[in-house]
Every structure is written in structure tokens, then in C-alpha cells.
Amino acid sequence: MSSGQEPVYPQYETETSQTSKLLRKFKETPFVPIGMAGFAVVVGYGLYRLKHRGKMKMSLHLIHMRVAAQGFVVGAITCGVLYSMVREYMFKPKE
């Protein structure tokens, strides 16, 4: 291959830093980092409560924390899909 060829996907092959790529992705899909942050908060809270769970069984505590974390992530994904649908179909500029 010669070095003078055009890139196949020029928008993806531009030289940018990892931080700028990450910020661009967050602007395109804002609910993904919200879901990730919520998952981290639920996991952190679960670990904190693990020490102070009282007489609750370990397996029951872990099931509750898993359901809470999955619920937050699914909720964030659903909000993101609804947000993108509204932005694309309702507020789309007319051509």
C-alpha cells in the first residue's frame, strides 16, 4: 500500500488525543457516562452496606445490589434511547 492513499474513514483516522475522543463520545451519548457513574455509585454503596448489613444473608444482599445496579444502567440506556429519538425525530432541522 502506498502512503498517499486516502483514508477509508477520514473522520475516525484524524490524529486527536484520547481525551478529546472521550469528550466527543460523551457529547454524542451523554447517558452512557451517567449510567456508568450510577453503576459505580450503586456498587460503592453496596460495598459500604456490606459491612453493616446486620443479619441479612450475603447472597441476598448481593442479589439486591445486582438488581439495583442493573436497574440503574437499564434506566440510563432507556433514557438515552428516548433522548436520541426525540432529538432525531422531533427536533430535527428541516432540510
Residue 41 has pLDDT above 80, yes or no: yes
Summarize the confidence of residues 74-79 as an average pLDDT.
Answer: 86
| Cα–Cα distance, 75 to 81 (Å, whole number) | 10
Taking the domains of the chain in order of start, what are their residue ranges?
14-91
- Indicate the pLDDT class of residue 25, thresholds 50, 70 and 90: confident
**22-37 CB burial, b ≥16 within 10 A, e <16:** eeeeeeeeebeebbee
Nearest in space to 79 (alpha carbons), one of 41, 20, 38? 38
Q: What is the pLDDT of residue 7?
A: 55
Q: What is the pLDDT of residue 30?
A: 76
| Cα–Cα distance, 57 to 52 (Å, whole number) | 12
Across 7-16, 20-29, 43-52, 61-70, least confident range: 7-16
Residue 14 has pLDDT above 60, yes or no: no
